[in-house]
Structure 1
Amino acid sequence: MAASSAMQSILASPLTRVTNRSRVNQFLVPTCFVPHLSRNSTLRVRCLADDQEDQKEQLPTPTPTPTPPPPPPRAPKVSTKFSDVLAFSGPAPERINGRLAMIGFVSALAVELSNGQDVFTQISNGGIPWFLGTSILLSFASLIPLFKGVSVESKSDGVMTSNAELWNGRFAMLGLVALAFTEYVKGGTLI
């Protein structure tokens, strides 16, 4: 109904005029409807889309609030049970053995260079009490932080990492065994 009243108002307007030559097709509908405007009449066209965009541009856009970063993951709880700390795959055995091997390898080479004694002569000439004292002291010093729940990885930083200590200990263990085997086969000091 609204469409028909709008059409009637357009057709009745003095601005539009249907020419007499409009063609009629087989359905009796005019195919050419061209409105003619007089030369003195003006037609104003107003675009509403620009007004709406201007209003959208004038509205302040809300700034999104940054989401807080998730909290850092907690370090896994380290077991302080004696059986867990000294287990075969626990944190203590390889570290303690590696630390003892590093001290033993360096001290064996130092005594060999200074006195000219091989490893077996060093042990038989009073090296056993030094070995036992060093082993007990270093074992307790290594176990105390582990029983308090401090992990080795939490204290490693920069060049002195826990992995570097493990690898140095492994090489020292191999070096100490190789030194003793070489001196045994050679029958004297390495140098």
Structure 2
Amino acid sequence: MAAVSSVLLLNPATAITKRSGLNHFAVPSYLPSLKRNAIFRVSSMAEDKERDSSEPTPSKPLESAAPPKSIPSKPKVSTNFGDILAFSGPGPERINGRLAMIGFVTAIGVELFNGQDVFAQIQNGGVQWFIVTSALLTAASLIPLFKGVRAESESNGVFSSDAELWNGRFAMVGLVALAFTEYVIGGALV
């Protein structure tokens, strides 16, 4: 077996051997050998800029590594009324999206139950329900925002703040599309 392996190491063209039905590759002798337990050094780019590349640095054992730097705390969020209800603030789109989700589901539900289109629902007491629902939902949405709690900090998994924003956007478009379609056809969609 030693004679076969030495012949294979000398001739890379015959580097494949058949032994016990499996293919084995012999490594030619002119390739560098791989050392076990080699010392690897890992450094960040920030350390490389500070260090002079011409002088060698001894590798430090893992135990003597510097302790990790403290993680910066979360930035304080503004609880100012103007910041919360600003155009790019956390309040308007979230509140309008929540109202649109409730409005779309309610409009479809009443339409399936009574057969009334959106405009008939508004004429038959829908404005009062809209005002009450808007006031309650706006208060429930603004109280956590004034306390400094953001939906992004409390969300994870399927029920994330991004999912809520997208569902609200789709509900806003859906409610407008429902009203427009019922206006064009002149009656209830369902």
Q: TM-score, normalised by structure 2?
A: 0.66
Note the residue ranges of structure 2 that are not aligned, 5 or more in a row: 1-59
Paired with 1:190 and 1:172, the residues of 2 have a C-alpha distance of 16
Question: Runs of at least 4 residues of structure 1 off by over 4 A?
Answer: none
1:131 aligns to 2:130 (yes or no) = yes
Structure 1 unaligned blocks of 5 or more: 1-60
Instruction: Give 1 or 2: higher strand fraction.
Output: 2
Aligned match of 2:99: 100
- Pair 132,70 (structure 1): closer, same or farther in 2 beyond 3 Å: same
1:151 to partner: Cα distance: 1.5
> How many residues of Structure 1 are paired with residues of Structure 2 in the alignment?
131
State the Cα distance separating 1:133 from its structure 2 match.
Answer: 0.4
Q: Deviations over 1:45-67 (max 9, x none)?
A: xxxxxxxxxxxxxxxx9873343
Give the structure 2 partner of residue 79 of structure 1. 78
Provide the secondary structure at the position in 1 that maps to 2:109.
Answer: helix
**Secondary structure class of the residue paired with 2:64:** coil
Q: Give matches, 1:2-41, under 5 Å.
A: none
What CA distance in whole angstroms lies between the structure 1 residues aligned with 2:71 and 2:117?
A: 53
Cα distance change on mapping 1:63 and 1:139 into 2, 3 Å: closer
* Residues 4-40 of structure 1: per-residue CA shift (max 9 Å, x gap): xxxxxxxxxxxxxxxxxxxxxxxxxxxxxxxxxxxxx
Seen in structure 2, the aligned counterparts of structure 1 residues 62 and 98 have a Cα distance that, compared at 3 Å, is closer
- CA distance in 1: counterparts of 2:175 and 2:133, whole angstroms: 16
* Cα distance between partner residues in 2 of 1:105 and 1:66: 58
CA–CA distance in structure 2, aligned partners of residues 190 and 118 of structure 1: 7
Structure showing greater radius of gyration is 1
The code of the aligned residue for 1:86 comes to L
Over the aligned positions, Cα root-mean-square deviation in angstroms equals 1.5
